[in-house]
Amino acid sequence: MEEIIDASTRTNVGWKVTVQDNSAAGGGRSYTENFDIVAIATGTNGPAFNRTPQYPGVEKFRGKLATQHDSYEDFDNKDVVVLGNGRAAIDMAVIACERPAVKSVTQIIRGKRWGVPDIMGGKPFEET
């Protein structure tokens, strides 16, 4: 199971996301990646409708926090991270993968809830 241990703005142009891999294979190792867009897909199908996490410095971020109802044109020419594995998150990840102009798509999940295809938008889905 992976856990987001930090998500902070990166000089007002993106996000720095640190993830800790708590699975047996990961052994608690953490890694950090930079993204232009963070899609917080915590779900509207669960009991708590507004579960958008609040991160220190989010008010300084000049980029976009996206929901599944937003325009995906903002994803073009960007590295996108989708946080979550609910229906909305998978929809967002698939749509982002299908856009040819999106540079990369990373999805961070705690555990498998919904099935994910091996190929999303013509691009291989890799699990780490």
SS in 3 state form for 25-93? CCCCEEEEEEECEEEECCCCCCCCCCCCCCCCCHHHCCCCEECCCCCHHHHCCCEEEEECCCHHHHHHH
| pLDDT tens figures, 54-70 | 667 767 766 666 766 66
pLDDT of residue 48: 46
**φ and ψ at residue 83, rounded to 5 degrees:** -100, 115
Q: In Å, how far from its chain's centre is CA 41?
A: 8
| pLDDT tens figures, 86-128 | 777 888 888 888 888 999 988 888 766 666 666 666 666 666 5
Cα–Cα distances (Å) from 84 to 59, 62, 70, 109, 112, in that order, read 22, 22, 17, 5, 10
Q: What is the mean pLDDT of the segment spanning 72-97? A: 84
pLDDT of residue 28: 87
Q: Is the pTM of this model over 0.75?
A: no
Q: pLDDT: is 36 or 122 the higher one?
A: 36
pLDDT of residue 101: 92
| pLDDT tens figures, 1-25 | 677 787 777 766 788 888 888 888 8
pLDDT of residue 113: 62
Give domain limits for the chain: 2-114
pLDDT of residue 77: 92
Do 116 and 108 meet the contact criterion of CB atoms below 8 Å apart?
no
